[in-house]
């Protein structure tokens, strides 16, 4: 089964995360496929807007923990981030074309970081966001430590990292993290916004995105690197071992 589906509509490319058996969780194959698809979209003059969404009723559960467990203790989380999510986040932010996260359901962990990196977020009314990392004894990565406080404030960001509670779509909209929320009209809303962006001034959009990056996210690359350093240490901790074991055994973790 192809882990990433691609289709075009009215000047936009729709990239659909497609691992339904794993709640669209990212493995190395899907991450690299998304990187490749974004590069192709950037270089295709017919594509004026990009939409990233999830198949079925889930956006993505984030990193596939099962894949990480099969690698064992030898894995460097910093090295993993440098090959996967860090370049993906930078790629989204550096794209000269608008990128929409169409969040159709649960969005957690690294997938949350990807959604936050996009230019706009349009959520289905039943969707929700979860920071996710603390539940398995990890620090936030994929740019969440920078993006989330920017959108909802430091206090709220820390609360939802510590608690691992859901942020419902409507609340995310009220806080300014989500641009629009749709119910039965969700898909039509996504494509209407995409079509509007696809007919806009491409060069001005690209220049504007560069300006926003410089003004608001000038230290993004530095933050991503520091997240990797912290995650490398967290990944070797007893808390992480317990968190992963609890996740696999479907029980609450015991963090001492």
Predicted pLDDT of residue 108:
98
Host domain of residue 53 = 4-184
Predicted pLDDT of residue 73:
60
Domain assignment of residue 225, yes or no:
no
Domain assignment of residue 244, yes or no:
no
Pick from 35, 169, 39: which is nearest to 107 by CA? 169
Domain assignment of residue 245, yes or no:
no
Query: Averaged in consecutive runs of 10 residues, what is the pLDDT profile of the chain (256 residues)?
Result: 93 97 96 98 97 97 83 78 97 98 98 98 98 95 98 98 97 98 96 97 98 98 98 93 90 90
Predicted pLDDT of residue 9:
95
Domain assignment of residue 233, yes or no:
no
- What distances in angstroms separate CA 52 from CA 13, 33, 55, 154, 204, one per listed residue? 9, 12, 10, 27, 22
Predicted pLDDT of residue 69:
67
Alpha-carbon distance 177 to 232, whole Å?
A: 28
Domain assignment of residue 145, yes or no:
yes
Domain assignment of residue 243, yes or no:
no
Predicted pLDDT of residue 70:
61
Domain assignment of residue 65, yes or no:
yes
Predicted pLDDT of residue 180:
98
> The CATH number of the domain where 32 resides is what?
3.90.226.10
Structurally, how many domains does the chain consist of? Answer: 1
Domain assignment of residue 208, yes or no:
no
């Amino acid at each position: 089964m192809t882990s990433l589906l691609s289709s075009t509509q009215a000047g936009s490319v729709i990239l659909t995360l497609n691992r339904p058996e794993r709640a669209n969780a990212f493995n190395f194959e899907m991450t690299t496929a998304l990187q490749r698809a974004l590069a192709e979209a950037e270089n295709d003059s017919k594509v004026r807007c990009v939409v990233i969404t999830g198949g079925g009723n889930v956006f993505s559960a984030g990193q596939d923990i099962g894949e990480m467990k099969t690698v064992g203790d030898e894995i460097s989380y910093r090295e993993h981030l440098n090959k996967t999510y860090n370049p993906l986040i930078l790629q989204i932010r550096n794209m000269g074309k608008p990128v929409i996260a169409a969040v159709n359901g649960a969005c957690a962990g690294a997938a949350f970081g990807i959604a936050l990196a996009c230019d706009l977020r349009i959520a289905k009314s039943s969707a929700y966001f979860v920071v996710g990392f603390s539940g398995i004894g990890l620090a936030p990565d994929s740019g969440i430590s920078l993006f989330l406080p920017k959108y909802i404030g430091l206090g709220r960001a820390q609360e939802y990292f510590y608690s691992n509670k859901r942020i419902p779509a409507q609340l995310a909209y009220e806080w300014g993290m989500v641009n629009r929320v749709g119910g039965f009209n969700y898909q039509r809303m996504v494509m209407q916004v995409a079509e509007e962006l696809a007919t806009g001034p491409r060069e001005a959009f690209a220049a504007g995105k560069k300006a926003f990056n410089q003004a608001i996210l000038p230290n993004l690359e530095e933050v991503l690197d520091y997240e990797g350093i912290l995650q490398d240490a967290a990944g070797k901790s007893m808390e992480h071992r317990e968190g992963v074991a609890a996740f696999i055994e479907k029980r609450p973790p015991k963090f001492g």
